[in-house]
Amino acid sequence: MKNQIQIASEILEEMHRHALSDFPNECVGFFYGQSEGNTKTVTEYGPLENSKEGDQRRRFEVNPLDYMKAEQYALANQLELLGIYHSHPLHPAVPSEHDLKQAVPFFSYIIASVNETKVEKTTSWQLNEENKFEEELLKSNK
């Protein structure tokens, strides 16, 4: 059975607003919630500042301190840190080679393809046992 991500439309819209406001650069943020079996339910989203030095149009970086704070936040609020959200400005919503090099198992990676005026497509991915990205079913309660 395919893994799936369930996300409230309000949270997805927040992620989309973040992606549009950071355009033409990549945006980045964490998302939190609960996982049960093959389903992750996103209940919170925390935008981050892209800490990548230099060109942010094709890369994002998460400051290690932000990651540590996210883990602490999840623990303090009985949540799981489920994954990372980021945008692909003027690029498809599929993981890049760079995304693959940075990815960790068990995390989900929500990617939004964005242009100057709108989000074109949003997908979610997770590493499989062969260290390749497998698309997850992204369900919003719209």
130 is catalytic: no
Strand (E) positions, 15-65? 28-36, 39-48
CA dist 119 → 1, 22, 79, 91, 110 (Å): 28, 12, 28, 11, 13
Quick one: which of 36, 52, 41 has its CA closest to 5? 41
Q: Which of 26, 97, 116, 130 is catalytic?
A: 26
H-state helical runs in the chain: 9-22, 64-76, 97-102
Q: Are 126 and 104 in contact (CB under 8 A)?
A: no
Residues with catalytic function:
26
